[in-house]
Amino acid sequence: MECINNSIILPNPITQIASMPYALYLSLQGKYFVGNTGNLVFDNGKKAWGGLINPRHSGVNLHLYVWTVTNYGDSPIKAQIWFNSIPRGCPTKSNLVTPVNTALCPLPKPKAKLIKENNVTKYPQDGVNAFNRIAPPDSTIAEEEDGKFIFPPGGSFIILLSNLETPNKPAKGNIALGWWEEPVNNSDKIIY
């Protein structure tokens, strides 16, 4: 695909209509992204995690649309969902991220970073363990959040995986996420 003057070319003005799904509207604008961690491995009582970090100076709010956890093992794994925590270990950035509208040129790049870590011993620091889910053996669990989980610059959405029944046996999973990003508007601050 060839770009003209390094600008995004849209065939028609983007107008939202009532019957258009909001995710499609965001995709047309180049604001919707998906990605996954690749395989995460953990054993000997350790954990693995993956998630989105919204950098402090990103200038955007991150809206989580959907998340999935796939369990490739033969025992259940626990998925702990953490809001605005500082995950442990020496994470690496996943390169398995893309805008969902691949017809744009150049392709938009997300401000949020999808990061991951294998075989950690400690739980995330600070933040809130908002809820937990169980992924049965050889299955995928998924939840659509429709953008209601919102993380400001400096925020994070992390999923911590652990092997429930056989913690010393190797486990393998994958985390996939879909999200969009909206510029922060300082005039929208709510004062309580």
Judge contact between 180 and 147, C-beta under 8 A: yes
Report the domain count for the chain.
Answer: 1
Mean of per-residue pLDDT scores for the chain: 90
Q: Do the domain assignments include residue 59? A: yes
Q: Do the domain assignments include residue 17? A: no
Q: Do the domain assignments include residue 77? A: yes
Confidence label for 13 from pLDDT (cuts 50, 70 and 90): low
Across 145-150, average pLDDT? 96
DSSP-derived letter for residue 127 is S
Q: Do the domain assignments include residue 71? A: yes
Q: Do the domain assignments include residue 19? A: no
State yes or no: pLDDT of 182 exceeds 80.
yes
d(CA 24, CA 79): 28
Q: Do the domain assignments include residue 172? A: yes
pLDDT at 66: 97
- The domain in which residue 66 lies consists of 32-182
Q: Do the domain assignments include residue 9? A: no
pTM, whole model, 2 decimals? 0.88
pLDDT at 30: 93
Tell me how far CA of residue 78 lies from CA of 103, 143, 145, 162, in angstroms. 37, 15, 19, 5
Judge contact between 156 and 87, C-beta under 8 A: yes
Tell me how far CA of residue 10 lies from CA of 27, 56, 68, 101, 119, in angstroms. 12, 30, 31, 11, 44
pLDDT at 16: 62
pLDDT tens digit sequence for 30-72: 999 999 999 999 998 999 999 999 999 999 999 999 999 999 9
pLDDT at 165: 85
Across 80-109, average pLDDT? 96
Among the listed residues 35, 68, 51, 79, the one whose alpha carbon sits nearest the alpha carbon of residue 151: 51
Q: Do the domain assignments include residue 130? A: yes
Residue that wins the pLDDT comparison between 105 and 6: 105
